A and B are shown apart, each in its own frame.
Chain A
Amino acid sequence: MTSAARLRYRRVVNGAMFGATGACTVAIAGVLLFILFYLFVNGARRIDLAFFTELPTPVGEPGGGMANAIVGSAKILALATVIGVPVGFLGGVYLAEYGSRGFAFAVRYTTDLLNGVPSIVIGIFAYTLIVLKAKHFSTLAGGVALGIMMIPIAVRSTEEFLRAVPSGLREGALALGTPKWRMLATVVVPAAKDGIITGIMLNLARVAGETAPLLFTSFSNRFWSPGLDQPTASLPVMIYTYAVSPYDDWHRQAWAAGFVLLLFILLINLGARVILRRRVAGGGRS
């Protein structure tokens, strides 16, 4: 009798904890749905063609858009990719294919360390490196800041996907007399291509929303910013300045910009996952 009651109690606890932990999970996932829903409701209906084609209007004048910020963000991200991805990719190749003992340990350790540095500190670094010397804010400084942020993830994802390539492929190529570099360039890297591209996409999505490192590197600009040598507007910084401003018009623009930015980031994330899934499925078949 008591043992039956005890068993019932244990089953109740089991069920209750299933419910409690499940509730935690659903609450977190719910936050995502809430964010998506809210940004969609508040942002999407404020988007019009002008948002993508016009410059911001002065305070009090309705309308206008964020064309310069969109172009600015694109330039900063392109620059960051050009700076961060090659270094990170080659570093990843080193760790996966060449690395040994001391130096590889140092590289891996430093990469982890760099990955943990708060983004605002990276911003300070780019500031001292470029803005302080040039004596003005610039697109270049923003690109360098985000580029540095891309390095550690690029290293990690490249290394991971290269390591996943079966060693039989390497041995086969080497057995045919192929030099190592050729083996890497024509066999191993192509085999890991999908994964590496996915890594770059996710990396890009991650830095696309970064605001803190841009505040005092690329700064902001109400107008177009030709070239790389002038301060430029960018979507994340615009969202920030507009959100903390006291004007309703600007708040509406901030929602619209937030929606566009989030949509961009989530689409990249989804795209990356689709590629990865296809790759996994393909790998299973062969």
Chain B
Amino acid sequence: MSGAPAGPPPRDARASRGGARAFAQRLVSGDEAARLVVTVASGAILLVTALLVFELWTNSGLSREKFGLRFLVTQTWDPNAGVFGALPFAYGTVVTSFLSLLIAVPVGVGAAIFLSEMAPPKLSDALTFCIELLAAVPSVIYGLLGVFVMMPLIKAHLAPGLRAALGWTPLFQGPFYGVSFLAAGIVLAVMILPFIVSVSRQVLLAVPPEQREGALALGATKWETTWRVVVPYARRGITGSVFLALARALGETMAVTMVVGNAPQIKASLLAPGYSIAAVIANEFTEATSDLYVHALIELGLVLFALTIVINGVARLLVLSTSRHAGSPA
């Protein structure tokens, strides 16, 4: 470095916030300008986010005023009559998301345990790499495979099996066309798996090695150590990963839109077609003709926004509390 010709000799202490002239001097020198630039950019992030909330709020005004809370608990969605009730969409979002968690959580946590505790390091690295790549596959590609590969498979094998074994419950009754809550739940499960695995694995890796060594020294097997010592230690973080995945699932649009069937109805059967909040926005937004219609769809966006904010917040708290707690000795 050839020194700093423009650098002002009397720095900080002496010229400290002295006055406009000192500020101007430092501005010319570049230091204050640099601080200003990065601060403005950071402010822009706050501004964009505030604007996002503002736009969602104001552009859903018509619908919020007209329907109030009934919006979320009534079932009639009739754009021609100007009546909008979002319950079937909310129902579909909740059902498909929880179905996906039901499938993805055991498999994902199992895989995370394998990768962080049981597998030899080289194998673990290779498999982790594969699973991280899986997270990079776009939603629309999952949808494509869901429509042309997974749905025929479910129709030919899984659905008849489920109906034969569990057809007596209301969950697996009625005709099956392929598009269904079940198909959406399975696609979502595959999509959220990488998140559960990678966050859970990180949380497990953050458990101090002394915990494992203690259990192993007492004669516990690898599995006993993992299940009785390591997993309980990381429990909150793993729960956090599940919440993160849930937030993902709730907002997921394309793959669900392509396989859920887009039928605004509330059916107990998982084999029936349904709808979801994100899917109805994707499908109807460009067709919305009246202002009220657009506002109703934007209100759905607002609902989705609020839901994911809350769930992400909870998730972050859980993950942070574990890693801080676990990471403190390091």
Q: How large is the interface on B (under 10, 10 to 19, 20 to 34, 35 or more residues)?
A: 35 or more
Contacts of A165 in B (CB 8 A): none
Query: Is the beta-carbon distance between A28 and B138 smaller than 8 angstroms?
Result: no
CB distance from B315 to the nearest CB of A (A): 9
Q: Among the listed stretches A59-67, A93-101, A190-198, A278-286, which one makes contact with chain B, having 4 or more residues with CB under 8 Å of it?
A: A93-101
Query: Is the beta-carbon distance between A113 and B4 smaller than 8 angstroms?
Result: no
Query: Is the beta-carbon distance between B144 and A215 smaller than 8 angstroms?
Result: no
On whether A261 and B118 interact (CB within 8 A), knowing A114-B45, A116-B312, A178-B1, the answer reads no
Write out, one digit per residue, whether chain B residues 42-57 have a CB within 8 A of any chain A CB (1) or not (0). 1011101101100110
CB distance from A136 to the nearest CB of B (A): 12
What is the CA–CA distance of A243 and B282 in the complex, to the nearest angstrom? 15
CB distance from B21 to the nearest CB of A (A): 18
Cβ of B208 within 8 Å of any chain A Cβ, yes or no, is no
Contacts of A215 in B (CB 8 A): 282, 285-286
By secondary structure, the B interface counts as helix
Write out, one digit per residue, whether chain A residues 1-28 have a CB within 8 A of any chain B CB (1) or not (0). 0000000001101100110111011111
What is the CA–CA distance of A17 and B38 in the complex, to the nearest angstrom? 51
On whether A255 and B1 interact (CB within 8 A), knowing A14-B224, A18-B222, A27-B107, the answer reads no
What is the CA–CA distance of A93 and B281 in the complex, to the nearest angstrom? 36
Query: Is the beta-carbon distance between B138 and A236 smaller than 8 angstroms?
Result: yes
Q: How large is the interface on A (under 10, 10 to 19, 20 to 34, 35 or more residues)?
A: 35 or more
By secondary structure, the A interface counts as helix
Interface residues of A in 103-139 (CB under 8 A from B): 103-104, 106-107, 110-114, 116-122, 124-125, 127-129, 132
Contacts of A255 in B (CB 8 A): 144
Q: Work out how many contacts link A and B, with CB atoms closer than 8 A.
A: 274
Interface residues of A in 9-57 (CB under 8 A from B): 10-11, 13-14, 17-18, 20-22, 24-29, 31-33, 35, 38-39
Interface residues of A in 207-232 (CB under 8 A from B): 208-212, 215-216, 219
Which chain B residue has the least Cβ–Cβ distance from A236? B140
Partner of A17, one of B6, B149, B223: B223
On whether A176 and B34 interact (CB within 8 A), knowing A107-B45, A121-B56, A240-B143, the answer reads no
What is the CA–CA distance of A124 and B300 in the complex, to the nearest angstrom? 10
What would 8 A/B residue contacts be, using CB atoms closer than 8 Å? A25-B114, A29-B131, A35-B145, A180-B34, A206-B136, A243-B140, A262-B137, A266-B136
**Residues of A participating in the B interface, judged by any CB pair closer than 8 Å:** 10-11, 13-14, 17-18, 20-22, 24-29, 31-33, 35, 38-39, 86-91, 93-95, 97-99, 103-104, 106-107, 110-114, 116-122, 124-125, 127-129, 132, 148, 151-152, 155, 173, 176-182, 184, 186-187, 205-206, 208-212, 215-216, 219, 236, 239-240, 243-244, 251, 254-255, 258, 261-262, 265-266, 269, 273
